[in-house]
Amino acid sequence: MNSFNKQTVSRFKETIWNYYYAHGRCFSWRNVDDPYKVFISEVMLQQTQTKRVIEKYEQFLAEFSSFEILAAASLRDVLSVWQGLGYNRRGKFLHEAAQTIIRNYRGIVPNDPDELVKLPGIGPATASSICAFAFNSPTIFIETNIRAVFLHCFFHGKSDIHDKQLLPLIAKTVDQENPREWYYALMDYGVYLKQTISNPSRASKHYLVQSKFEGSNRQIRGKIIKLLTDHNALTEKELLQKTESQAERFTPILKQLINESIVKRNRDMLCIP
């Protein structure tokens, strides 16, 4: 790592801010003062590219404009709108988180990562990012684009870098007065780096190449959920036929969905509750 002194930090910040002021991206979930909207966007952006979130974010808010409306909806209705974002468990967790926020927090998003991590599907990084973007709190978190920035700027030419080595640098450089925009700037610069040089994230100990979706168990899982959001109920035989998959792959995936309470079996019929 390069010498990490005041001069280095100053140059680093200047580079990030200058890029952001000239090329910062604009999204409808940025610079909003509604914690609900931030909460929705941060859950959607987990493991999903922004271009896929843009349309779904607006559609989701049109259907579920508040925690109260989201909590009162059926899981089937929520997953129906969620279609296209992938990782449907996030949709289920979001539904459950809304119910918990209504029940335990009177519909108000806590400005405290330690409280947010108690919610379904909210890990430490997402909890801190919600606080940063919803409340402009100088919390510390890392995500893929932020990781790319710090690897490129402070660990250039090195490999197998653990996030634990990056987090202290993130903490030392976070803008205490305007952390919300600082994190926007970091992420935008990270996107720029990935577009212009070989992906810096490959130097991370946590770097993984995502497996292909086509023909995967994730694809079969997605087909099952889509079919059950499109139909009131189907038999297991009907579902197997419509997914066009082999029984030896289909059966354990269906069993997992039932165990996760995403799919419910009612006698001979299967549905999303």
pLDDT digit string (tens) for 167-197?
999 999 999 999 999 999 999 999 999 999 8
Confidence band, pLDDT 50/70/90 cuts, at residue 117: very high
Q: Supply φ then ψ for residue 204, to 5 degrees.
A: -85, 145
- For residues 113 and 139, the answer to whether their CB atoms sit within 8 Å is yes
CA 263 to chain centre: 22
Q: What is the pLDDT of residue 156?
A: 84
Three-point CA angle 141, 146, 147, nearest 5°: 95
Q: Which of 14, 42, 55, 115 is catalytic?
A: 42
Residue 205 in this model has a pLDDT that exceeds 90: no
Q: The pTM is what?
A: 0.92
Range 71-86 average pLDDT: 95
Q: What is the pLDDT of residue 174?
A: 97
Residue 1 in this model has a pLDDT that exceeds 60: no
- For residues 146 and 183, the answer to whether their CB atoms sit within 8 Å is yes
Q: What is the pLDDT of residue 3?
A: 62
Average pLDDT of every residue of the chain:
94
Q: What is the pLDDT of residue 39?
A: 98
Q: What is the pLDDT of residue 147?
A: 95
Residue 33 in this model has a pLDDT that exceeds 90: no
Which residue ranges make up each domain of the chain? 6-26+142-203, 35-135, 217-271
pLDDT digits (tens, 9 = 90+) for 212-265: 777 789 999 999 999 999 999 999 999 999 999 899 999 999 999 999 999 999
Confidence band, pLDDT 50/70/90 cuts, at residue 118: very high
Range 154-165 average pLDDT: 91
Range 75-100 average pLDDT: 96
CATH topology of domain 217-271: Arc Repressor Mutant, subunit A (1.10.10)
Burial class (CB within 10 angstroms; exposed 0-12, middle 13-18, buried 19+) of 4: middle
Alpha helices in the chain (DSSP H): 6-23, 35-44, 50-63, 67-72, 75-82, 88-105, 113-116, 124-135, 144-154, 163-173, 179-196, 217-230, 236-243, 247-259
CATH topology of domain 35-135: Endonuclease III; domain 1 (1.10.340)
Task: Tell me the percentage of the chain whose pLDDT exceeds 90.
Answer: 84
Residue 2 in this model has a pLDDT that exceeds 60: no
User: Quick one: which H or E segment has residue 198?
Assistant: none
Cβ atoms within 10 A of the Cβ of 95, count? Answer: 22
Distances 144 to 56, 66, 75, 123, 124 between C-alpha atoms, Å? 21, 28, 29, 15, 15
pLDDT digits (tens, 9 = 90+) for 119-131: 999 999 999 999 9
Residue 42 among the catalytic residues: yes
